[in-house]
Amino acid sequence: MESAGALPALLRAVAALCVSALVLMGGYAAMHSTDSEAITDEKLIHGAQLSAVIGDTTVDGESLAIHSFQQVGNQWRAMVSFQGPFMASDFDALEYYLRGYQPGLRATFIWRTAATPEQINEAALHVAEGKSSIISLASQPDWAGEIIEIALYFVGESRSEQLVVVKLALLPSGGLQTLASVWSEWFAFRGWTLS
């Protein structure tokens, strides 16, 4: 008989948890939304618009296929870049879509600014194979001023499969992008490091 009374209490607790999550997400979106006059369009960069810095690439339609990494010691590296300029304040998040991403490969987003072009700024990327991922740039302390170059840098083991950069999209300020970046990071695959 006690289990019959526990079920409604459990359902009320789950419902309260769901309502509180919706209120929290709504407040988070409202807090990070901008005035409608300040909305900037996203900056879409197809993989084919990127240039190889390290490794060998070929253009595949609108994508860029990295088919050869450069060996440095016992690691394999590749880097592709896109030249600016654009203002960091116009974009709060980066959406990226890669195919052929394998465990054991680390991806990093890199950028340089006009104010300090010699300084390399970076943020780790968490790739979800087969779908887009989003990272918040607004939370990066060095994402400021005029951006003159962005790049994707990959480090890993020898590869048999091509890594394909389908697209990058710099997303404007807004609550939905912020929520999407949090959601993407929560559900991104991360290899277990035993630490």
DSSP assignment of 83-98, as one string?
EEEEEGGG--EEEEEE
Q: What is the DSSP letter of 172?
A: P
Amino acid sitting at position 41: D
Rounded to whole angstroms, the Cα distance separating 94 from 111 reads 12
3-state class (DSSP) for residue 48: helix
Q: Between 101 and 61, where is the model more confident?
A: 61
Query: What's the pLDDT band for 161 if we cut at 50, 70, 90?
Result: confident
Preceding peptide of 85 cis, ω within 30°: yes
pLDDT score of 180 more than 60: no
pLDDT of residue 37: 42
Question: Whole-number mean pLDDT of the chain?
Answer: 81
pLDDT 10s digits, 102-158: 878 899 999 999 999 999 999 999 887 778 899 999 989 999 999 999 999 999 887
Q: What is the pTM of this model?
A: 0.71
pLDDT score of 24 more than 70: no
